[in-house]
Amino acid sequence: MSQREGLMSDARRQLIKGTAAVAAGAALPGGAWAAGSDAPEKKEVRIGFIPLTDCASVVMASVLKFDEKYGVKIIPTKEASWAGVRDKLVNGELDMAHVLYGLIYGVHLGVGGPKKDMAVLMTINNNGQGLTLSKKLADKGAVDVESLAKLMAREKREYTFAQTFPTGTHAMWLYYWLASAGVNPMKDAKVITVPPPQMVANMRVGNMDGFSVGEPWNHRAIIDGIGISAATSQDVWKDHPEKVLGTTGDFVKQYPNTARAVMMAVLEASRWIDAGLQNKNKMAETIAGKAYVNTSVDAINQRILGRYQNGLGKTWDDPNHMKFFNDGSVNYPYLSDGMWFLTQHKRWGLLKSHPDYLAVARQINQTALYKQAAAQLKISVPKSDMRSSKLIDGVVWDGSNPAKYADGFKVNALASA
């Protein structure tokens, strides 16, 4: 055995020792990365996406043919709504999806729809969502959450805010943001669900006072002169988890090698996007096309670089803009990230009782499979499955006592208006 083969053999032993089972509970075929043993079981993988900037790593993995490098062909499939993505994942029309973190958790627990075992393979991006208020509200002085709360208290009427899916990330950013200023989204406002690409058109005709959505639709509202940026999602939670590469538990059990191969392709695309300005501009030009986001390049290419404007003359550079890789720190499927969404589902009455937060996260988040993919690409992984963050209201989330955390908010679904 050569020295190189010996080193590789040692590395394999360490990898298998550390991640002895795929998250489904099955040992890797052949027990090692021997030739052929890790070949993808399924060669074509249909991955659904919604027209949003953060679909970029899935799209670019296909466009740049990173997928072929790992023995699979990604077929990006443009979908009209998150409800459509959910249904197609559940019934098998889609193999995977660029999808809202909280949607996967909601389906796993049967919240507001079908119940099916689900899986988070990796986090696709951090940051880069937005909270937009109508120009009409801004003209009355509502330009951030504090001034919005004052206007709502002063001028009593039904205020309507839109999010993209009841258990999804945008709903949780909207609720958390409003609640940080004492506005109870369940009692002080009307909340509606609108697919991301339809947000701007709905605001234009006066269907909502504000919305929470991913880019480029917040910036599009500014370009079109109908909305202003009142906050970014990274204002609510710096480096928050956002979209994930999601699939069903059955898919991971049946096609673990395929899942890993797709993760590697998407990880490589994520690394490519974050590598520099030229790559980000090429990504923006690609995904702006009709087949993907279907908007102008200028609606995408500023905010992916952290160049923000609020529509009222203020501009700033945000170092916490949308990131797809960030030296690998974006992509690890932290258990605490998934658990956080469950705490908010409980807070807002989507869950009637406390689940076993950690057990659910362990069922869904495929940390062992992720570690295998990351090891192949020499991407470092964190020492812990938990991470700590301080959110907009000063409350720290670290996953240590989720039930206490969920019950600790004064503004919640049960609180009086």
Between CA 40 and CA 254 the distance in angstroms is 11
Is the pLDDT at 10 greater than 70? The verdict is: no
- Could you give the percent of the chain with pLDDT greater than 70? 91
What pLDDT shows up at residue 37?
78
Query: Counting beta carbons within 10 angstroms of the beta carbon of residue 238, is it exposed (0 to 12), middle (13 to 18) or buried (19 or more)?
Result: middle
Between CA 136 and CA 45 the distance in angstroms is 45
- Could you give the percent of the chain with pLDDT greater than 90? 90
Between CA 259 and CA 254 the distance in angstroms is 9
Q: Thinking of the domain 129-239+309-317, which architecture would CATH place it in? A: 3-Layer(aba) Sandwich (3.40)
Q: What is the pLDDT of residues 230-252, one digit of tens each?
A: 999 999 999 999 999 999 999 99
Q: Within 13 Å and on the Cβ side, how many CA atoms surround 197?
A: 16
What average pLDDT does the segment 257-285 reach?
98
Residue 86: partners with Cβ closer than 8 Å, 6 or more residues away: 99, 103, 107, 113, 114, 165
Could you state, in order of their start, the residue ranges of all structural domains in the chain? Answer: 1-36, 37-125+244-292+325-407, 129-239+309-317
What pLDDT shows up at residue 113?
87
Long-range pairs of 67-72 with CB within 8 A, sequence gap ≥ 24: 67/261, 67/262, 67/265, 69/265, 69/268, 70/40, 70/261, 70/262, 70/264, 70/265, 71/39, 71/40, 71/43, 71/261, 72/40, 72/42, 72/43, 72/44, 72/45, 72/258, 72/261, 72/262, 72/265
Select the more confidently predicted residue: 118 or 36. 118
DSSP letters, 72-111, are -EEEEEE-S-HHHHHHHHHHTS-SEEEEEHHHHHHHHHTT
Q: How confident is the model at residue 19 (pLDDT cuts 50, 70, 90)?
A: very low
Between CA 164 and CA 337 the distance in angstroms is 19
Query: What tokens were used for 63?
Result: 């466009």
Asked if residues 106 and 113 have their Cβ atoms less than 8 Å apart, the reply is yes
Mean pLDDT, the chain, integer: 92
Q: What is the pLDDT of residues 372-391, one digit of tens each?
A: 999 999 999 999 999 999 99
Select the more confidently predicted residue: 18 or 113. 113
Residue 303: partners with Cβ closer than 8 Å, 6 or more residues away: 53, 128, 215, 216, 218, 219, 321, 322
Domains 37-125+244-292+325-407 and 129-239+309-317 share a fold: yes
Is the pLDDT at 227 greater than 50? The verdict is: yes
Between CA 161 and CA 98 the distance in angstroms is 24
What pLDDT shows up at residue 74?
98
Query: Counting beta carbons within 10 angstroms of the beta carbon of residue 255, is it exposed (0 to 12), middle (13 to 18) or buried (19 or more)?
Result: buried
- Domain covering 37-125+244-292+325-407 in this structure, CATH number: 3.40.190.10
Q: Which residues pair with 159 in a beta bridge?
A: none
How far, in Å, are 2, 233, 240, 258, 322 from residue 71 at the CA level? 27, 36, 32, 8, 29
How far, in Å, are 152, 283, 284, 289 from residue 294 at the CA level? 35, 13, 11, 5
Between CA 383 and CA 407 the distance in angstroms is 29
Q: Which residues pair with 78 in a beta bridge?
A: 49
What pLDDT shows up at residue 416?
55
Q: How confident is the model at residue 61 (pLDDT cuts 50, 70, 90)?
A: very high
Q: How confident is the model at residue 317 (pLDDT cuts 50, 70, 90)?
A: very high
